[in-house]
Structure 1
Amino acid sequence: MKGQEWYQADDVAEEYDDKRFSQGGQLIDRREKEAVLEAIMPVEDRNILEIACGTGRFTVMLAEQGADVVGLDISAAMLQQGRKKAQNADLDGTLEFLRGDAGRLPFPDDHFDTVIAMRFFHLADDPEAFLKEMRRVSRDQIVFDTFNRFSARSVYNWALPMGSRLYSRSEIAILLAKTELTLVDVEDDFIVPYGLYRSIPNGLASPIRKLDTAIGKLPVTDHLASVSYWNTHVR
C-alpha cells in the first residue's frame, strides 16, 4: 500500500479528521456517508466489515444505525481515534476495531453480509488482489469508491504526499469481472476535487458545492466526476 508509514504516524491520526472533514470538508464527509447508507440500506442487523476504517467515520455511523460492524485498519493510531469516537456514540448495533492487513483478512469465507472500503483503492498497489480478498469474506455485497482518471483529481494528484491511483470506468469493469462481482449501481460526484473543499470555509464551500452538483447533472459532464461510489453484489 502507498504511504503506509505516513498513514500510521500518531500525529497524522490525531489530525486526520480535522484536516479533511472540517471547514468545507464537512460536505465531503456528509456526501460519503450518504453514499454508503444508500448502498447498504436497510442497515439494521446487517453484519458489516469496513477495511481501512481509519478513525471510524463509517463504522461508528453504521453501528449507530443498528449494524454489527467490524472496523479493520493497519494503523493502531487510527484505530485508537476510532475507539475514542465510539465511546461518545449511542450505538444500537455492535462495534469492534481490529488491527490487520486488508490483503490478508483474518476472517473465514462468506463471513460478512457487506464489506466496504472507502478512501482505500486510491492507495492500493494491487487492487485486484484486495478486491478478491474482500469478495472472499463477503456473502452478499461490496461497496467501495475510486478516484477517476479523467477528472480534476489528476490535475493536483502529483502534489499529494503519496499520490493516488486513478481509475477509468473500463478498469473497474475489468476488476469486477475478474473478481466475479456484479455492478448494481454507480454514482459519480464532485467535479470540483476534494482538495479545494478542504481548504476553504464551509460558508464558501456550500455555494461551490451547489454549483458543482448542478454541473454534475449535465450529460456532458458524466465522465468528469473526480470520485465514483460503486455498489456491487457477489455472484
Structure 2
Amino acid sequence: MKGKEWYQADDVAQEYDAKRFSDGGRLIDRREKTAVLEALGPVEDKDVLEIACGTGRFTVMLAERGANIVGLDISSAMMAQGRQKAKSAGVSELVEFMRGDAARLPFPDDHFDAVFAMRFFHLADTPAKFLAEMCRVSKDQVFFDTFNRYSTRSVYTWLLPMGSRLYSRSEVEGLLSGAGLELIGDAHDFVLPFGFYREIPNEVAAPIRGLDTKLRGSGVGEKLASVSYWNARVK
C-alpha cells in the first residue's frame, strides 16, 4: 500500500489530526462525519467495522451513537490515540481497535451489519481485493469514499508524500460490480481540493466553502467535485 511506512510513523500519528482537521480542515472533518452518519443511518446495537480507522474520529463518533464497532488499522500509534479518545468519551466498552491487513480481514463471512472506509482507497494498491474483503464480511452495507480522477485533486496529487490514487465513476462502478455490490447512493463534493482548505484559516475557509458548495450544486461543479461518497449493498 502506498506510503505504508510514512503512515505508521509515530511523529505522523502525533500530528495527523492537528494538521488535517484544524483551521479550514474542520470543514472537511464535519462534511466527512455527516457523510458517514447519513450513509449508515441509526447504528445503535449494530455491529460495524471501520477499515483504516486511524485516530478513531469516526470510530468513537459511532460508538457514542450506540454502535458496537471494530476499528482496523496498520498503525499502532494511530490506534493508541483512538483508544484514548474512546476512553475520554466513555465508550471504550463499545470499541475494539485491531491491527490488521484490510486485504485479509480476520473475520468470518457476513460478520458485520455495515463496513466502511474513509480516506483509504486513495492509498490502495489493490482496490478490488480490498473491496471484495469488505463485501465478504458485511451482511448488508459497504460505504467508502474516493478522490476523483477528473477533478482539481489531480492538480496537486503528485505533491503528496505517499501519492494518491484517483478514480473515475466507471472505475468505481466496475469495482463494485466485481465485488458483488450494488450501488444505492452516491454524493460528490469539494470542487476545491482538501489541501487548499487545510492551508487557510477557518474564518477564511467558511465563506469560500459556501461558494464551493454553490458551484458544486451546478451541473459543471458536480462533475469537477474532488471527492465522492459511495453507498452500496451486498447483492
Write out aligned runs for 1:1-235 (5 A).
1-91=1-91, 94-235=94-235
Shift of 1:219: 1.2
Shift of 1:122: 0.2
Deviation at 1:91, TM superposition (A): 3.0
Deviation at 1:92, TM superposition (A): 9.4
**Contact 1:65–1:92 (CA<8 Å) still a contact in 2?**
no
- CA contact under 8 A between 1:189 and 1:213: conserved in structure 2? yes
| Aligned partners of 1:55 and 1:79 also within 8 Å | yes
SS of equivalent residue, structure 1 residue 233: strand
* Whole-Å separation in 2 of the counterparts to 1:52 and 1:122: 12
Change over 3 Å in CA distance of 1:111–1:137 after alignment to 2 = same
CA distance in 2: counterparts of 1:3 and 1:139, whole angstroms = 31
3-state SS of the aligned residue for 1:88?
helix
Q: Say whether the 8 Å CA contact 1:64–1:92 is kept in structure 2.
A: no
Distance 1:92 1:42 in 2: 20
Deviations 1:71-119 (A, max 9, x none): 0001110110111111111439711101111111110000000000000
Shift in Å, 1:44: 1.1
- The total of aligned residue pairs comes to 235
In 2, the alpha carbon distance for the partners of 1:218 and 1:45 equals: 39
Cα shift at 1:221 = 1.9
**Structure 2 unmatched runs, 5+:** none
Alignment-mate amino acid for residue 65 of structure 1:
R
1:42-96 alpha-carbon deviations (Å, 9 max, x no partner): 1211110001100001000000011110000011101101111111114397111
Q: Distance in 2 between matches of 1:160 and 1:152?
A: 14
Tell me, in whole angstroms, the C-alpha distance in 1 between the residues paired with 2:180 and 2:60.
Answer: 29
> Distance between the aligned counterparts of 1:146 and 1:178, measured in 2?
17
State, as a whole percentage, how many aligned pairs show the same letter. 68
Contiguous gaps of at least 5 residues in structure 1: none
RMSD of equivalent CA atoms = 1.0
SS in 1 for 2:45: coil
- Decide whether the 8 Å contact of 1:67 with 1:92 is kept in 2: no
Q: Normalized against structure 1, the TM-score is what?
A: 0.98
Report the Cα offset of residue 222 of structure 1.
2.0
SS in 2 for 1:69: strand
Quick check: 1:67–1:93 contact (8 Å CA) kept in 2?
no
Q: C-alpha offsets along residues 175-220 of structure 1, whole Å, 9 cap, x if unaligned?
A: 1111110101000000000001111110000001000000000012
Taking structure 2 as the reference length, the TM-score comes to 0.98
Give structure 1 regions of 4+ aligned residues with deviation exceeding 4 angstroms.
none
Residues 25 and 198 in structure 2, CA contact (< 8 A), matched pair in contact too: yes
In 2, distance between residues paired with 1:93 and 1:116? 20
Distance of 1:2 and 1:220 partners within structure 2: 31
